[in-house]
Amino acid sequence: MQQIEHRACFGGWQDVYQHASPTLNCTMRFGVYLPPQAERAPCPVLYWLSGLTCTEQNFITKAGAQRYAAEHGLIIVAPDTSPRGEGVADDPADDLGQGAGFYLNATESPWSSHYRMYDYIVDELPALIESNLPVTQARGISGHSMGGHGALTIALRNPGRYHSVSAFAPIVNPSEVPWGQKALRAYLGDRPEDWRQHDSVALIATAAERLPLLIDQGEADPFLNAQLQPDRLRQACEQHHHPLQLRLQPGYDHSYYFVASFIGEHIAHHAAALG
């Protein structure tokens, strides 16, 4: 880990690190907010997964989360959204390739040599954090849009690993919407049975743990009907008796103005679960 940014923030420190990732076969960056409590004792950690086109910078500069993390004593880790660099496959569109890793392990060429974001988020990054920073074993996970999809699917597929999960405007049923179908077909091939392993609606049916889901969705989100469709997740949770708090927020869109408006409540949700 090489520290490349270090800024005082709400009594703690907003840092950015970079490191060589053997999982992704490239250099990766991630942001870390260390609250003032971390100087005295290890703190729980919340992993934040960002959406399409984002880097580690979007969340740490736009969400305003540091204030609330300092109040609750939470460390926040915000990784980049995909592998990057020379030699990493890309696409001219903003919903595939660099900036659009979709938090899965690609099996198809040319993506499979670098695009293993699922393993990076679940295994490599936490191991790095827990070896180098003052964190406890208590983990939460959250995210926005594509990152909300990642947070939900990763939590549902790894019972016991996370104490809490939440999402802002997640892609809940990627197997059935254009964003998801394009990415899943490119990364995993034309095999819908593999797509379902990265689809929250499908995973609810076989979830081994009833981890409560907190989701905020703006009612003025331009992607609500075509790409997000949270009612599909509501119906699945009702059918399988999975706890879900889905809050539809009038007037809010898909932007970080929306995220910043409710991030304090999400951090309080995670803090209550993480202790």
Catalytic residues: 145, 221, 254
Asked if residue 159 lies in contact with residue 209, where contact means CB atoms within 8 angstroms, the answer is yes
Sign of the torsion formed by the C-alpha atoms of 165, 168, 173 and 178: negative
Peptide bond into 159 cis (omega under 30): no
Q: What are phi and psi of 152, to 5 degrees?
A: -65, -50
Rounded Cα distance, 79 and 86, in Å: 19
Residue 198: alpha-carbon gap to chain centroid: 13
Q: How many CB atoms lie within 10 A of CB 94?
A: 11
Contacts of 241 (CB under 8 A, 6+ apart): 210
Q: What are phi and psi of 49, to 5 degrees?
A: -110, 120
Strands 213-218 and 12-21, by their bridges, are unpaired
Helix boundaries (H) for 73-216 = 117-119, 125-132, 146-157, 178-188, 192-195, 200-204
Cβ burial of 248 (10 Å; 0-12, 13-18, 19+) is: middle
The identity of residue 155, as a single letter, is A
